[in-house]
Structure 1
Amino acid sequence: MDISLPLAAEALMPHRLPMRLVDRLVEYGGDSGVVEAEVAAGNPLLDGQGCLDEVALAEMLAQAYALVKGYGARRDGEPIRKGFLVGFREFVCAGSARLGDRLRVTVRAVADVEDFTVAEGEVWRGAERIAHGSLKLWIPKEGP
């Protein structure tokens, strides 16, 4: 499999439409990365006026980290592990996204303890940071 960037989200994580909220990994730096997402029609988290629910911005951070981990696993010839969002700390939504917006999501791990990771991320619409926060993830080792 070619793992040159940018790489489509489907190659790196189990999420599929309509719950896949990110589109591609465009930069990779070990435990960090940059992801692109377009707010598309059919997104179940859009309201009737085309505004994206704030919870979608939080989920984008988690999915962005899934792409980073998935890319690292593919690059190293390892299986992609499923992960679970455990919670957020200090999530701030300072703006909004609408149907048709193109977003950039940056994410980086700041701590790893066994199967748990704390990561920080930001969601950008152009030059405006519309959300940021710290997330906690559980990525269990599979097998015995």
Structure 2
Amino acid sequence: MNAFPTPEALLPHRAPNLLISGVTDSSPDHVCAHADIVAGQWYSNADGSMPAWIGIELMAQAIAAFVGLEAQREGRPPKIGYLLGTRAYRCSRADFAPGTRIDIKADLVFRDDSGLGAFDCTLHHDGMQIAEATLKVYETPDHD
């Protein structure tokens, strides 16, 4: 039994744009999540695989889960966040096969009061790292 809330409870995303399947670990400076790759999705290649470039969105959704968990701990709704980008996304494969479980880790590197932040992110399959990037993100300010 997973002790973490469902992704739907943590992220504003809904199907078919909700790509992470669950959170597996969390602390004040990291989150681990996973995505189960399913054929026949809006992003699927002809063979049912997920193009590797969507791995950036898997990382971004893990960060959104981190923020959602933090908001729940503080008893507030999560703020809207934006993926600003990355300088480099490195992936050792061109796609992720259907039926594959991708494990996602996001480590907080930097965050300031203006809402800017950065996370070192990795994707793993069967215990091997298959992708990495540092994502820059922005969280909108509170609106009273």
Alignment of 1:5-84 (within 5 A): 5-84=3-82
Q: How far does the alpha carbon of each residue in 1:57-99 deviate from its partner, in whole angstroms, 9 at most, with x for none?
A: 0100000010011011101102111101011122101123111
- Of all paired residues, the percent bearing the same amino acid is 25
TM-score by length of 2: 0.91
Which residue does the alignment assign to 1:133? Answer: 133
2: CA distance between counterparts of 1:53 and 1:39? 10
1: CA distance between counterparts of 2:41 and 2:128? 22
Please list every run of 5 or more consecutive structure 2 residues that lacks an aligned counterpart in the other structure. none
2: CA distance between counterparts of 1:13 and 1:109? 18
Alignment of 1:111-126 (within 5 A): 111-113=110-112, 114-126=114-126
Asked whether the 8 Å contact 1:88–1:136 carries over to 2, the reply is: yes
Q: How far does the alpha carbon of each residue in 1:17-55 deviate from its partner, in whole angstroms, 9 at most, with x for none?
A: 111110111111112111011011342221011221122
SS at 1:35 equivalent: strand
CA gap of 1:136–1:14, structure 2 versus 1, over 3 A, is same
Q: Which amino acid aligns with 2:129?
A: R
SS at 1:89 equivalent: coil
Asked whether the 8 Å contact 2:39–2:49 carries over to 1, the reply is: no
What is the number of residues matched between the two proteins? 141
Please list every run of 5 or more consecutive structure 1 residues that lacks an aligned counterpart in the other structure. none
CA deviation after TM superposition for structure 1 residue 131, in Å: 0.8
Runs of 4+ in 1 over 2 A off after TM superposition: 4-7
1: CA distance between counterparts of 2:125 and 2:42? 20
SS at 2:39 equivalent: coil
Which residue does the alignment assign to 1:104? Answer: 103
Q: Which amino acid aligns with 1:90?
A: A
1: CA distance between counterparts of 2:56 and 2:133? 8
1: CA distance between counterparts of 2:9 and 2:116? 23
Q: How far does the alpha carbon of each residue in 1:76-128 deviate from its partner, in whole angstroms, 9 at most, with x for none?
A: 10211110101112210112311110111000110113211111110111122
1: CA distance between counterparts of 2:134 and 2:101? 22
RMSD: 1.4
SS at 2:142 equivalent: coil
2: CA distance between counterparts of 1:31 and 1:23? 21
